[in-house]
Amino acid sequence: MVAIRNLYWTERIDAFIFGGLILASTLCGVGGAVPGGVRAADPKNRCQLQFGTTHKQEHSKMTKRAGRRSLRRRLAAASAAMVLVAVMFAGLSVSSFADEPKPDPAGTATGDKTSAVDAAGNPFVVAEPTDKTAPDYAQNKKAFDDYQAQAAKEPLAVKLADSVGHVRIATNMAWTLNTGYLVLFMQAGFALLTCGLVRKKNAAHLMMLNFAAYVFAFLAYYAVGYAFQFGAVAINAAPTNLGGVPTLNHFLIGSGQWGFVGGKGFFLVGPAYDAGSNVLTLFEVVFMETAGYIIVGAICERISFWAFLLCELFIGAILYPISGCWAWGGGWMSQLGSTMNLGHGYVDFAGSTVVHAVGGFAAMALAIILGPRLGKFGPGGKIRVFPAHNIVYVVTGTFILLFGWMGFNPGSTLGATDFRISVVAVNTNLAAVAGSAAAMLIWYFLFGKPDITMACNGMLAGLVAITAPCAFVSPTSSVIIGTLAGCLVCGGVLFNERVLKIDDPCGAVSVHGYCGWLGAVCVGIFADGTYGSGWNGVGAANYLGHAGQGVTGLIHGDTKQFWCQLMGATLYAVWAFGATFVVFWMVNKVKSMRVPPESEEEGLDVPEFGMPGYPEDALVTAQY
């Protein structure tokens, strides 16, 4: 272990230097892209179609060289700044006390006899009670002594418990990773869905936005986002199914039950170079990515690439992790049950608000800042409908998203030993089909035919809305929630377009924003109390006068939970809209985030990336 600890320190020091350099170059890509946006508008460049996996034009080197020189200066400055930031965060991650829990990067010290529990969650090992003033101290002390006495007689059983605890954690890690992979795969779903819904001239642009969202938001989350969100998770929300991640135990802002921002795990070094923590990292980073993909649907067909990357870095580093900490990182909202006596605290099982409403309302703010696409609203407010270009992509993308949601919701138990996973999976599907059926029927009644893209949006709306309540409600309630969401998304699309005059090409604001808000509120209405006993530390022994009562909604008798959900969901909407609007309103003042009008007319593919979505077809067209 000496060797490992030594390496661990070396590693840590190395890490900050390297990490800083990498992030620096990453961020400079954004700064550097500013002139690129300008250059892309240069008609000399735009008029050339450039293809293939290989090199590009040789000319206009002089201009570029000058641009590059200026870029190098920015690079140097940004690098220096980033190294400073990295070193600063390094200080935050350093644990200077000898009794700090040690990270376990090899995973060979995670999952022992203390992880062996039965179906109801009762541990095998009886822990020694520490609070001698507790009313049940004598009773607990006796249980502990009895266990100790018996354990001396059954050393093999105790030894075997180490294996059992290990297998239990393994089962849960496998579950969490496998479901996390499904969520990761949702990127293909979002890309195909949004690509299919836009015009052909922006097909490559859509694919690249979804692709780059993954890349750059991931880097931001790796650098600081994970630490902001989960850096203190062990304090109030230790994922015991994964071994508890005891090394993530410090709030950067706040403390105790009033935590606001986590403070350990920057650059995934030190306390976050741990097997249990990395399961959480993998699972949570793909959730953050989902928020990052959501905005694409509302801002596509007009945002410039550099501005988009800035949005993704903002979401991955700041917007998502901070509010994510409040509900999932053991932050203040999750603790409202203890601190303010508001039900089980704010509860969002898999992220109707934490993920979807944050993405959806950030998308709304960006869509407003960017303004509508050219020609969307004609004179007199006449609405022009732009054609989708590939319905096959749209439906396939929706299927992939449904598949991914089988990871999103059931995976959010962080373990297969929580058998509620099956109810979650069934509820999720039921809301999806109900939402879809509702949207088909509504469109049929309103406009005479079931609309395919609205059927897809209805399914996604149902999925978004069931994401928060999926573990707390019955199948019947899931059908109702899905139906409500299917109605809301139809209304929302029409409302945004006809009343608010917000141009949201793929309906992201309605699907993820409005229905996300609805989902979290539905927890406060439909939760039936069969699940969530002890959630956020509330009601393990007794709640609403019943032993083992879980999270309970309005129609099952808990008014406080409803108010908590209503206010919490609204706060998420306001936070996402407000923070995004303020930041990017300023950015947009400094430099317009939109591509030049001529790029928008031409389609963003070639001006931004030198390549249309269907290069050969474009070439053929160009020849005529």
Q: How far is the CB of 408 from its own copies (least distance, A)?
A: 11
- H helix intervals, 41-95: 43-46, 61-93
Q: How far is the CB of 203 from its own copies (least distance, A)?
A: 6
Contact 213, 289 (CB under 8 A): yes
Q: How far is the CB of 296 from its own copies (least distance, A)?
A: 13
Q: How far is CA 41 from the centre of its chain?
A: 33
Closer residue to its own copies, CB minimum distance, 177 or 253: 177
Tokens representing residue 484 in the block: 């409500």
Torsion angle, alpha carbons of 455, 460, 461, 467, to 10:
150
Closer residue to its own copies, CB minimum distance, 426 or 571: 426
Tell me how far apart the alpha carbons of residues 521 and 527 are, in angstroms, rounded to a whole number.
10
Closer residue to its own copies, CB minimum distance, 40 or 488: 40
**Strand, coil or helix: 549:** coil
Closer residue to its own copies, CB minimum distance, 166 or 594: 166
Q: How far is the CB of 253 from its own copies (least distance, A)?
A: 24
Question: What Cα–Cα distance (Å) separates residue 461 from each residue in 68, 99, 379, 430, 485?
Answer: 45, 48, 32, 12, 5
DSSP 576: H
Closer residue to its own copies, CB minimum distance, 351 or 529: 529
DSSP 381: G
Closer residue to its own copies, CB minimum distance, 330 or 410: 410
Closer residue to its own copies, CB minimum distance, 139 or 255: 139
Closer residue to its own copies, CB minimum distance, 147 or 581: 147
Neighbours of 121 (CB within 10 A): 12
Tell me how far apart the alpha carbons of residues 211 and 275 are, in angstroms, rounded to a whole number.
27
Question: What Cα–Cα distance (Å) separates residue 227 from each residue in 98, 106, 290, 350, 610?
Answer: 21, 20, 18, 19, 37
Closer residue to its own copies, CB minimum distance, 131 or 616: 616
**Strand, coil or helix: 474:** coil
Comparing C-alpha atoms, which of 226, 217, 211, 188 is closest to residue 311?
Answer: 217
Contact 575, 164 (CB under 8 A): no
Q: How far is the CB of 441 from its own copies (least distance, A)?
A: 5
Tell me how far apart the alpha carbons of residues 489 and 471 are, in angstroms, rounded to a whole number.
22
Neighbours of 570 (CB within 10 A): 15
Comparing C-alpha atoms, which of 603, 590, 595, 618 is closest to residue 41?
Answer: 595
Q: How far is the CB of 266 from its own copies (least distance, A)?
A: 11
Q: How far is the CB of 128 from its own copies (least distance, A)?
A: 17
Closer residue to its own copies, CB minimum distance, 259 or 292: 292
Tell me how far apart the alpha carbons of residues 412 and 512 are, in angstroms, rounded to a whole number.
18
Q: How far is the CB of 254 from its own copies (least distance, A)?
A: 26
Q: How far is the CB of 565 from its own copies (least distance, A)?
A: 18
Helix axes 421-447, 452-467, angle to 10 degrees: 140
Q: How far is the CB of 415 from its own copies (least distance, A)?
A: 8
